[in-house]
Chain A
């Protein structure tokens, strides 16, 4: 968990750097706009100076490598997550994640295994201004998540503040709680960079807020697939590292006013 948080902060830092950059762009635009008005009398010139930019629209599908590779070094974890997004407008994307997790949690006093599938759906807003034909994304998005899972209580320890008769070994129970479900909202920050052709590599962090939690009677949901570890409150955090492939379906042309406008007649 500490690891996840650490990476979260470093990514936040990364974001803040981009923020500064994002702030620059509008001022450049304003300048262009001003210069455009100055140039207005020579209407023919402006058309020539404009640049036609094609935006590609389509479906991006990928997989979370963080979850996929975790099974190699963490014997208590098996999981996979597929990610997909569909470009709706220039800035907005419909996004969804579908996953499966099987995680054994070894707490000091409890040993539990949560197994289940989850689905998350929502949108992403890309606030990164791309240069020319670049297609990178820095997104902020909202998701609704739902998970259906089961929980296995493998063993527990009895807490006795007065261990005069000694500490008891863990009690093996193997009690299975089926038909559990949970729903949550999450704010997702993401970064996707095109590495070559249509292949994208991305990082994402999510802050989650538990909205519905169907607990077993006499026990608690200690881990919810897709939501991750639960805390005393209803907050949660998540992290993913994705590799995805973009399938272009159609193109849209946008006219971008060019920056070059020193009057050539001088």
Chain B
């Protein structure tokens, strides 16, 4: 009888360490961002780095007060800039469309060039877990999916291509932009 109780006590101690399902684990696949990779327009298999690009959301023609943060440790200006070949932008979970301003060479106002990129999609909410709640996944339509347009200046983007229409993870490139 004593043995049984000892086992039961062990059981409970084990149990108390199993209670960690209240915090959503960062490795859990939740709402994904749209992953965009840049390529050379004249050499579409080679990735191309952008130069000090800033990405700012636009709602009804009005810019969001802040750009997307690409560099957490940067200063108030450099944290919004990226010079990588891939960027991940969040899609809105409360609307079926999102518009971003892609400002090329944003650090240099004389040379900067702004293009607008609008992404249209449909949304699905799926249950994940008690701690994470639900996630939203996105589906890009076959027409009118990703639309780019020149801002007040000329276009720097030349072409876009959708690689993956079901946006469920951030592991692969969904949209390719050629410039």
A residues with a Cβ closer than 8 A to B are 1, 5, 8-9, 12, 15-16, 19, 22-23, 107-110, 127, 140, 156-165, 168, 171, 187, 189, 207, 218-220, 222, 231-233, 235, 237
- CB-CB under 8 A from B64, the residues of chain A are 164
Do A158 and B136 touch (CB < 8 A)?
Answer: yes
CB-nearest residue of chain A relative to B7? A187
> How distant is the Cα of A105 from the Cα of B130 in the complex, in angstroms?
11
In the complex, are the beta carbons of B5 and A19 less than 8 A apart? yes
With A12-B9, A140-B5, A160-B30 given, can you name 9 additional A-B contacts, CB distance below 8 Å?
Answer: A19-B2, A109-B134, A140-B4, A158-B133, A162-B88, A165-B98, A168-B93, A207-B8, A231-B19
B12 proximity list for chain A (CB < 8 A): 5, 8-9, 12, 207, 237
A159 pairs with B31, CB closer than 8 A: yes
B68 at the interface (CB under 8 A from A): yes
Contact: A165 with B18, CB < 8 Å?
no
Please, how many angstroms separate the alpha-carbon atoms of A162 and B22 in the complex? 20
Q: How far is the CA of A159 from the CA of B18 in the complex (A)?
A: 22
Shortest distance between the CB of A5 and any CB in chain B (Å)? 6
26 sampled A-B residue pairs with Cβ under 8 A: A8-B12, A19-B1, A107-B130, A108-B131, A109-B134, A157-B133, A157-B134, A159-B31, A161-B26, A161-B30, A161-B31, A162-B88, A164-B57, A164-B64, A164-B68, A165-B90, A165-B98, A168-B94, A187-B8, A189-B8, A218-B126, A218-B127, A220-B127, A222-B130, A232-B21, A235-B15
Query: Closest CB-CB distance, B29 to chain A, in whole Å?
Result: 10
Report the Cα distance A51→B89, complex, angstroms: 86
Residue in A closest to B67 when the chains form the complex, CB atoms = A164
CB neighbours (8 Å) of B126 from chain A are: 218
Contacts of B133 in A (CB 8 A): 107-110, 156-159
Which 5 residue pairs across A and B have the least CB separation, nearest first? A109-B133, A162-B90, A160-B31, A159-B30, A159-B132
A168 to B20, CA, bound (A): 25
Determine if B166 is an interface residue (Cβ-Cβ < 8 Å): no
Q: Are A158 and B18 in contact (CB under 8 A)?
A: no
Q: Which of chain A's residues have a CB closer than 8 A to the CB of B1?
A: 19, 22, 127, 140
Report the nearest B residue to A107, measured CB to CB: B130
Contacts of B90 in A (CB 8 A): 160, 162-165
Report whether A158 and B125 are in contact in the complex, using a CB–CB cutoff of 8 Å. yes
Provide the bound-state CA to CA distance between A222 and B133, in Å: 12
B135 contacts partner chain A, Cβ-Cβ < 8 Å: yes
Q: Is the CB of B134 within 8 A of A158?
A: yes
Contact B18 A232 (CB under 8 A): yes
Partner of A220 from the list B20, B88, B98, B130 (CB cut-off 8 Å) is B130
